[in-house]
Amino acid sequence: MSSSRPPVSLTPATTLADLGEFGLIAELTRRFPQGEQVLLGPGDDAAVVTMPDERVVVSTDLVVEGRHFRRDWASAADVGHRVAAQNLSDLNAMGGRATALTVGLAAPPDLPAQWLLELADGMAEEAAEVGASIVGGDVTSSDQLVIAVTALGVVDGDPVTRAGARPGDVVALAGRQGWAAGGLAVLTRGFRSPRALVEAYRRPQPPYGAGAEAAGLGATALIDVSDGLLADLGHLAEASGVAVDVATASFDIPEPLLAVGAALGADPLGFILGGGDDHPLAATFPAGSALGPAWTVIGSVAEGTGVTVDGAPYEGPTGHRHF
At the fourth CATH level, which superfamily is domain 170-309?
Answer: PurM-like C-terminal domain (3.90.650.10)
Radius of gyration of the chain (CA): 21
Point out the annotated binding site.
45, 59-61, 68, 90, 137-138, 162, 224, 226-227, 277
By the 8 A CB rule, do 225 and 279 touch?
yes
> Is 93 within 8 Å of 211 (Cβ atoms)?
yes
d(CA 30, CA 17) in angstroms, rounded, equals 19
Can you tell me the distance from the alpha carbon of 301 to that of 64, in angstroms, rounded to the nearest whole number? 36
What is the model's pLDDT at position 30? Answer: 82
Tell me: the pLDDT tens digits for 125-150?
999 999 999 999 999 999 999 999 99
pLDDT of residue 20: 82
For the chain, the structural domain boundaries read 16-154, 170-309
Write out the binding residues for ATP.
137-138, 162, 226
Q: What confidence score (pLDDT) does residue 170 get?
A: 98
In a structure prediction context, what are the per-residue pLDDT tens digits for the chain, which is 323 residues long? 444 556 667 888 889 888 886 787 788 788 888 888 887 777 655 667 787 766 888 888 999 999 999 999 999 999 999 999 999 999 999 999 999 999 999 999 999 999 999 999 999 999 999 999 999 999 999 999 999 999 999 888 888 999 999 999 999 999 999 999 999 999 999 999 899 999 999 999 999 999 999 999 999 999 999 999 999 999 999 999 999 999 999 999 999 999 999 999 999 999 999 999 999 999 999 999 999 999 999 999 999 999 999 999 999 999 987 66
* Model pTM score: 0.86
pLDDT of residue 47: 64
Output the pLDDT for position 281.
98
CA angle 198, 253, 126 (to 5 degrees): 40
**pLDDT for residue 223:** 96
Report the pLDDT value the prediction gives residue 8, as an integer from 0 to 100.
65
147: which residues sit within 8 A by CB, 6+ positions away?
A: 62, 63, 79, 83, 103, 104, 105, 106, 119
Could you tell me which residues come within 8 angstroms of residue 282 by beta carbon, excluding any fewer than 6 positions away? 171, 172, 173, 222, 223, 225, 229, 232, 233, 236, 298
Please name the residues in contact with 316: beta carbons below 8 A apart, sequence gap of 6 or more.
Answer: 267, 270, 273, 274
Residues 298-320, buried b or exposed e (16+ Cβ, 10 A)?
Answer: bbbbeeeeebbbeeeebeeebbb
Q: What CATH class does 16-154 carry?
A: alpha beta
Question: Rounded to whole angstroms, how far apart are CA atoms 234 and 215?
Answer: 21
- The per-residue pLDDT for 46 is 62
Which pLDDT value is given to residue 284? 98
Please report, as a single letter, which amino acid is at residue 189: R
User: How many whole angstroms separate alpha carbon 49 and alpha carbon 251?
Assistant: 41
CA distances for 93 relative to 127, 140, 160, 273, 311, angstroms: 16, 31, 8, 19, 26
End-to-end CA, the chain? 34
How far, in Å, CA of 286 to CA of 220, rounded? 7
Which residue numbers belong to the known binding site for substrate?
68, 277
Q: CA 59, CA 38: separation in Å to the nearest integer? A: 18
Residue ranges for the known binding site for Mg(2+) are 45, 59-61, 90, 138, 224, 227
Residue environment code for 141-174, b if the CB has 16+ CB neighbours within 10 A, otherwise e: eeeebbbbbbbbbbbeeebbbbebbbeebbbbbb
